Amino acid sequence: MTIKPPCLEPGDRIGIIAPAGPVDRDEIRPAIEFLHQKGYKILSSRNLYRKKGYLAGSDDARLDDLMSMFANKSVKAIFCARGGYGSSRLLDRIDYDLIKKNPKIIAGYSDITALLFAIFRNTGLVTFHGPVLRDPGPWGRKNLNSLLKLLALKAPFEINLFGGDVIREGQVRGIIIGGNLSLICSLAGTPFMPRTRRAILFIEDKCEPLYRIDRMMNHLRLSGILEGLSGIIAGSFTGCGDMRDIKRILRDVSSGTGIPVVSGLPAGHDGKNMAIPIGIHADLDTKGMRLSFSEAGVT
């Protein structure tokens, strides 16, 4: 059963965690100041600025921060400081019963895809693919503002895909899931991968050469995931080569499915990173180039 978290409004408290790579105070200070200006209270996790090589502290420390934020009744949403690597190291140690009893917003992208997928799969809680606090400059603030608006929205909404191309036509409905392609592939075949049958999958990635994009998409094909999907939407593939080549890969690997495939989702590592709820129904229309949500992701 799908669980929607309560909405987020000015005056609510947002907890900040770093479940993957390490982060410095100066890197996320602008985002925290922005959230304060918008009227939100901020609670930094106990181990937020710890470092252990390429991780933001030990697995125990990062797990404790995650679970403490879900257990804290005063925290209404959990935002991640950055991606990097490390979220998947926590998945088999998370107390999913605690999360299910304390449903609240959790948002992030890139490596945070692992957390978003695992929590949705094991609790039914709608999670949110959206910006992290470390994202720089004007786009970082715009994307964060987009996330805040979505987390307060209780009405249907839609995302236009006019900047993309139709790879295969169609009109379909399904549960929207998605995120970083590398992380999705790493979860395939594990108990932390959401059920994909009749789902609309969106994907994005960064700095992966074309042959790796090809390999990952073929892994999803060979594992049977593509066959059960209702549709595929490509977001940005920053530093991954010519987007025309990526579209050809998507066309080739999905050729036996007949499902609609389209690019143009404004999500990923390149500039605009629109917030997207994971786990609610959406309609993909390649003729109108839009992704429409008939329900909100929050209550």
Q: In what order do the strands lie in the sheet with 127-129?
A: 41-44, 13-17, 75-80, 105-108, 127-129, 276-278
Using one digit for the tens of pLDDT, what is the confidence trace for 51-105? 999 999 999 999 999 999 999 999 999 999 999 999 999 999 999 999 999 999 9
Is there a catalytic annotation at residue 204? yes
Give pLDDT tens digits for 214-251.
999 999 999 999 989 999 999 999 999 999 999 999 99
Please say if 110 is a catalytic residue.
Answer: yes
Question: Rounded to two decimals, what is the model's pTM?
Answer: 0.97
* Six token digits for residue 110: 């890139």
**Domains with residue ranges and CATH for the chain:** 13-152 (3.40.50.10740), 157-293 (3.50.30.60)
The string of pLDDT tens digits covering residues 268-294 is 998 899 999 999 999 999 999 999 999
Which of 45, 129, 230, 269 is the catalytic position? Answer: 269
Which one is catalytic: 88, 182, 204, 236? 204
Catalytic pick among 45, 87, 110, 146 = 110
Whether 138 shows a pLDDT value over 90: the answer reads no
CA-to-CA distance for 17 and 205, rounded, in angstroms? 22
The Cα 38–Cα 278 span in angstroms is 25
Question: pLDDT tens for residues 113-133?
Answer: 999 999 999 999 999 999 999
Share of the chain above pLDDT 70, in %: 100
